[in-house]
Amino acid sequence: MKKAVSVNNVSMRFNLATEHVDSLKDYIVRKIKGRGVSFEEFWALRDISFEIEKGESCALIGSNGSGKSTMLKIISGILKPTKGSAKVYGSIAPLIELGAGFDAELTGRENIFLNGAILGHSKQLMQEKYDEIVDFSELRDFIDVPVKNYSSGMVARLGFSIATMVKPEILIVDEILAVGDQAFQAKCRKRMEEMMSGGTTVILVSHSKADVKRICHKAAWIEKGELKFFGDTKKALELYEKGGKA
């Protein structure tokens, strides 16, 4: 099989400020006085490697703060790793942060075209897919309301509908299935399963063991920034439950 994602020895370091600085003015004053701001290194990920084949579905599991979302952002190209590389082979649709790519002041209608442009789609394509997006999201009665007045579930509906209107080669989903009512969650799962049957690669972060078991062939258990296991989903969940917080 052909590779969809190849993660090679990825490490990610963040510099965390150890002193509280209230404003840009305070920061500049400290610099002028030669005091600066002290930082502490935090390694969110350390030497992680794995590969996902085209058409596979893979879950990233682990406790909160383990580095799962950081890994998704690196795969999506949002973050550049401190060390190593993450290569993606194919078009990608990331659903990582709720409302990412939306302008809260714009209406749902306007955000459909804005988000489509961010994903690289033409205005003509968005016009052709507009009704499909609105119907799937079930937001027609609110489509001309500013997104700042949407609930988190409504934002998730719109984001998922836009990201999946054209079948991407790789779909990345971070906890989006945990938002909204059960009926819409089931609708999202069905669409994902249809995309997978058509060859789409899915990478999922979820704390729902049921979703992980239902959707994913493989799982990567990441704990405190380290890859503990990569392989069969059932085995990964068993090890996680024994060694981490389920």
Residue bearing tokens 């392989």:
231
In this structure, is the dihedral angle defined by the CA atoms of residues 25, 30, 31 and 36, taken in order, positive or negative? Answer: negative
- Tens of pLDDT along 30-51? 556 655 555 678 899 999 999 9
Q: State how far the Cα of 4 lies from the Cα of 38, in Å rounded to an integer.
A: 40
pLDDT of residue 128: 96
Q: Is 204 helix (H, G, I), strand (E, B) or coil?
A: strand
- What are 69-125's pLDDT values in tens digits? 999 999 999 899 999 999 999 988 887 776 677 999 999 999 999 999 988 899 999
Distance (Å, rounded) from C-alpha 122 to C-alpha 117? 6
Q: Are 52 and 74 in contact (CB under 8 A)?
A: no
Q: How far apart are CA 45 and CA 189, in angstroms?
A: 29
E strand or H helix at 16, and its extent?
Answer: strand 3-17
Residue 95, both tokens? 């659903």
Task: For 172-186, write each residue's pLDDT tens digit.
Answer: 988 766 666 788 888
User: Which one has a higher pLDDT value, 129 or 243?
Assistant: 129
Cβ–Cβ < 8 Å for 79, 12 = yes
pLDDT for the residue numbered 222:
96
d(CA 114, CA 177): 23
Q: Select from 67, 48, 86, 56 the least CA-distant residue to 229.
A: 48
Residue among 15, 72, 73 nearest 42 (CA)? 15
pLDDT confidence tier of residue 246, bands split at 50, 70 and 90: very low
The alpha carbon dihedral of 101, 165, 91, 175 has a sign of: positive
CA 207 to chain centre: 13
Domains (range + CATH), the chain: 3-91+168-243 (3.40.50.300), 103-166 (no CATH)
Q: Given this model, what pLDDT does residue 111 score?
A: 96
